Chains A and B, each alone.
Chain A
Amino acid sequence: MSVLHLVNASPFESAALSRCLARAGEGDAVLLLENGVYGALTGCRFSREVAEAAAWLDIRVLAPDLRARGLCASSLLQTLGQVDYDGFVELAVRHELSLTWT
């Protein structure tokens, strides 16, 4: 069984992202959504931690939530893939379990 981890809190406000990355297993995926998308920014306090995790973990960002917050591709870590809601559904199909970190 693999887990789709949903991180929906800003890393500047909550430790959810770091806590999630510390408990994710091989073969799991992480989706940054809602205010969690701020975890995908480059040049920030959390960028290195996220980039390092992305080397072994599938980390995606929910594109509609990026757009809603005015974040454009150039401000994001380039190694993270973007998905829309169809892609979110596909991630949920691919992973048997899901957990939300807030």
Chain B
Amino acid sequence: MVGALIMKFVIQIDASPHEAQAANTAYQFIKAALANGHHILLVFFYYDGVCNAQVSSFAGKDDLSGRWSALAREHGLDLVLCVSAAQRRGLVSAEGKDQGLLAPGFRIGGLGQWVDACLKADRILTFTS
């Protein structure tokens, strides 16, 4: 689109996909933003949002962690779990290491990365419940 404003977004997701719609809303928003030519600098998972990285034992094509992995693969999205939130929920070890519980495409990071990305972004949106 000629003349359209292209923006850099940081998205924060605070909710687990199992108890709220917010994570799926964020996923749909990101897909639409990418389709409209915008850039997603960081998808930051905080609070119960870190549960988006967990692979369900019933994983099928509707499983959100799988859809996040596919979207990250197709668009080079940076999906970052806040290490302290993930440790609190037992998703990563006390040393901050992935224990094989995370879906492909997710990585462990910190609040500093979120702050840094916010400084570079035009828009910061939080999806919560």
Contact = CB atoms under 8 A, between A and B. Distances in A.
**Chain B: number of interface residues, binned into ranges:** 20 to 34
Given A33-B25, A86-B36, A98 B31 contact: no
Contacts of A98: 123-126
B28 A92 contact: no
Interface of B is mostly: mixed
A78 interface: no
Contacts of A93: 5, 7, 38, 123
A55 interface: no
B129 A89 contact: no
Interface in A85-102: 85-86, 88-90, 92-93, 96, 98, 100, 102
Given A93-B5, A98-B124, A85 B129 contact: no
A100 B36 contact: no
A28 interface: no
A35 B15 CA distance: 15
Contacts of B32: 84-86, 88-89
Contacts of B25: 8, 33-34
Interface in A31-82: 33-35, 64-65
A48 B88 CA distance: 44
A88 B36 CA distance: 11
Contact of A89 (B21, B33, B127, B128): B33
B22 A34 contact: yes
5 contacts: A8-B25, A88-B29, A89-B32, A90-B36, A98-B125
Interface of B: 5, 7, 9, 20-22, 25, 28-29, 31-33, 35-36, 38, 123-129
